[in-house]
Amino acid sequence: MIGKDLNLAKSLLERGKLVAIPTETVYGLAANAFDEKAVSEIFRVKNRPSFDPLIVHVGRWEQVFDFVKEIPEQAQKLASLFMPGPLTLVLTKTERLPDIVTAGSPQVAVRIPNHPLTQELLHSIGFPLAAPSANPFGYISPTTAQHVADQLEDQVPYILDGGPCTVGIESTIIGFEDGAPTVYRKGGLTIESIESVIGPVAIKTYNYDHPLAPGMLQSHYAPKIPLKIGQLPELLSDFNPNRIGLLVFRRPLAGIPEKQQVVLSKNGDFAEAARNLFAGLRYLDGLDLDLILAEPVPEMGLGRAINDRLKRAAAVEG
């Protein structure tokens, strides 16, 4: 069921049930982060491997101290400037937070979502919410309530409808390895913005066996139709134009039916392209096609995160 009933969402979460929640990045599948049984339902519904940790969402920064031991000075600086927003910080947890949330890691990923409806919900409950993206594991992340309903409605008691996500790709995740700031996932907050505050950061966005943070697996965000990335004019000659879909940055290509093309941003706006990325992939994935071809966007600003999602969506495990 989709709706805007905060009281119902609150009641369900307090009873250990799951609720899909809107954020500025993507929709999340939420449960009481202190309730081990409720969190285990997230893994079951998503078919998510238990070694892949979750992000914990709070309504205000002070709540972090309920389950985090210490906060590095650089993390504090980032939080003061970019939270609420598309930033997740990896910090050392206390024993109050069940190990299932962090996949056994002593560290937890924490963020404050910048969405008024979810902010109101988080301020009305007495616990943080563990919430990965509200979709089957490995598939394209949802950016509307209907996206969630299309795949999980019969398994989620309630989907809180907050409209389309304004950022459209997941948060940037940053941790501190031996005090050194390290980006574990490129996302809605640019590397340039982070480095303007704390200086150069290391980037470590893949982990094949035991990810340190969510979104570090090589294959992720993938459509059911195979996806290939490259320079489109070169790729097109190898395929039947009537059986392929195109995901392009600014301009459609001649010779391919218009309905089989998604333009991320005619003006070359990275923020608009990020907002349209997952919805565009979903649209093409719903067509009768053999292959989706995507061109990379310029590797700067949010373009880095867009390219990261495309590379993972095109990866084939095993």
Please tell me the predicted confidence (pLDDT) of residue 217: 65
Name the token pair of 133.
Answer: 């993206």
Quick one: CA dihedral 149, 164, 269, 182, positive or negative? Answer: negative
Burial of 217 (0-12, 13-18, 19+ CB in 10 A): buried
Residue 290 makes CB contacts below 8 A (sequence gap 6+) with 225, 226, 239, 240, 243, 244
Convert the chain into a string of H (helix), E (strand) and C (coil).
CEECCHHHHHHHHHCCCCEEECCCCCCEEEEECCCHHHHHHHHHHHCCCCCCCCEEECCCHHHHHHCEEECCHHHHHHHHHHCCCCEEEEEEECCCCCHHHHCCCCEEEEECCCCHHHHHHHHHCCCCEECCECCCCCECCCCCHHHHHHHHHHHCCEEECCCCCCCCCCCEEEEEECCEEEEEECCCCCHHHHHHHHCCCEECCCCCCCCCCCCCCCCCCECCCCEEECCHHHHHCCCCHHHEEEEECCCCCCCCCHHHEEECCCCCCHHHHHHHHHHHHHHHHCCCCCEEEECCCCCCCCHHHHHHHHHHHHCCCC
Please tell me the predicted confidence (pLDDT) of residue 132: 95
- Specify which residues 222 forms β-bridges with: 139
Please tell me the predicted confidence (pLDDT) of residue 282: 95
Please tell me the predicted confidence (pLDDT) of residue 193: 97
Regions of the chain short of the pLDDT cut 70: 206-213, 215-220, 316-318
Cβ–Cβ < 8 Å for 218, 283: no
Burial of 240 (0-12, 13-18, 19+ CB in 10 A): exposed
Please tell me the predicted confidence (pLDDT) of residue 318: 36
Cβ–Cβ < 8 Å for 118, 26: no
Domains present along the chain, CATH in parentheses: 2-203 (3.90.870.10), 227-314 (3.40.50.11030)
Q: How far apart are CA 8 and CA 20, in angstroms?
A: 12
Q: How far apart are CA 71 and CA 131, in angstroms?
A: 21
Longest dimension (CA), the chain: 59
pLDDT, one tens digit per residue, over 14-39 is 999 999 999 999 999 999 999 999 99
Tell me whether strands 107-111 and 87-93 are parallel, antiparallel or unpaired.
Answer: antiparallel
